[in-house]
């Protein structure tokens, strides 16, 4: 696909993620994606630090995607994988398993600061990774408001049970770090990986 403004072909990669938000962020910086389905066990290992956890999952997703496209003899484009975790008191908050779990996460985040860690990996046989950390401070969220937010459907597939790009933005008093990293893909780090792979975006 050609960029009409500059007449340059847009970058193309595989994306080992079903997240529409990651696909939208890549499109924002001029990268077209083809989805590749991967199956990775996302359970943290015993004693695994949150940083190690998200880096491991990003690497495993990218590597599994590379194996899949290689086995299918598809064009050998780079494969990008990513993983995001909300961390509070050293505990990893992934996606809620049900309504009760999601409401409990929101109650725990209410009125305090937490960390959002997003790792991104790019595989072309060998895998390179980057890690983004953002600190997010929430205002107090009342019980009725938590229930109303859950009922929007937005928190169900989000790490930490909120989406900063949606209604969840109403809870955010302050962030220090990468907004796109909280959404699910830190664009500065992603751009570094793509540039190192010879993919020019500008």
Known catalytic residues are 83
- For 50, phi then psi, to 5°, come to -60, -40
Closest CA to 195 of 131, 132, 128: 128
CA distance 103 to 184: 21
Radius of gyration, CA atoms only, the chain: 17
Query: What is the secondary structure of 36-87 as a DSSP string?
Result: -------PPPTT--HHHHHHHHHHHHHHHHHHHHHHTT-----EEEEEEEEE
| Token pair of 12 as six digits | 């193309």
CA distance 43 to 143: 29
């Amino acid at each position: 696909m050609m960029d009409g403004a500059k007449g340059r072909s847009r970058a193309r990669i595989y994306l080992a993620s079903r997240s529409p938000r990651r696909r939208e962020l890549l499109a924002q910086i001029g990268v077209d994606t083809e989805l590749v389905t991967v199956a990775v066990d996302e359970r943290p290992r015993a004693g695994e630090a949150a940083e190690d956890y998200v880096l491991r999952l990003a690497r495993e997703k990218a590597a599994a995607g590379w194996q899949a496209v290689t086995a299918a003899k598809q064009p050998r484009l780079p494969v990008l994988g990513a993983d995001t975790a909300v961390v509070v008191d050293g505990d990893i908050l992934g996606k809620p398993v049900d309504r009760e779990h999601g409401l409990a996460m929101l109650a725990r985040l209410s009125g305090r600061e937490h960390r959002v860690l997003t790792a991104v990996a790019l595989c072309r046989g060998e895998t390179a990774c980057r890690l983004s950390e953002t600190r997010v401070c929430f205002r107090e969220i009342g019980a009725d408001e938590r229930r109303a937010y859950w009922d929007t459907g937005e928190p169900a597939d989000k790490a930490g049970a909120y989406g900063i790009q949606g209604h969840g933005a109403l809870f955010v008093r302050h962030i220090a770090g990468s907004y796109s990293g909280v959404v699910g893909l830190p664009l500065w780090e992603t751009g570094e990986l793509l540039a190192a792979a010879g993919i020019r975006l500008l």
